[in-house]
Homo-oligomer: A and B are copies of this chain.
Amino acid sequence: MDSQQFYRITKALADPRRYEILSRIAKCRELACSDVRCDLPITAATLSHHIKELVNAGLVELRREGQFAHLKLRRKAWREYLSRLGKFKTAKF
């Protein structure tokens, strides 16, 4: 994982709403946008914007099928992000 992707992920997580959205996606094998949005007080346009950020960060994969956009967490990217955060140079004192 290069620095650019790392920072994009860090930024993507920094909005609570987007974090919640990612969290919902992560809990399922796959989820359509409309299901993500159910009971969230945001418009479809706003969701679309957040999804774009998550995809752009490499955290979410989007598969189109008919009218639907199915979303899935890219677990490999998530693991790599955690791993890089874990390697944060914390000198042992």
Contact = CB atoms under 8 A, between A and B. Distances in A.
Contact of A23 (B23, B89, B93): B89
Interface in A1-35: 7, 10-11, 13-14, 16, 19, 23, 26-29
A86 interface: yes
A24 B9 CA distance: 21
Interface of A is mostly: helix
A78 B88 CA distance: 10
A27 B88 CA distance: 9
Given A82-B85, A85-B82, A91 B11 contact: no
Question: 4 closest pairs, A vs B, by CB?
Answer: A14-B14, A29-B93, A11-B14, A26-B90
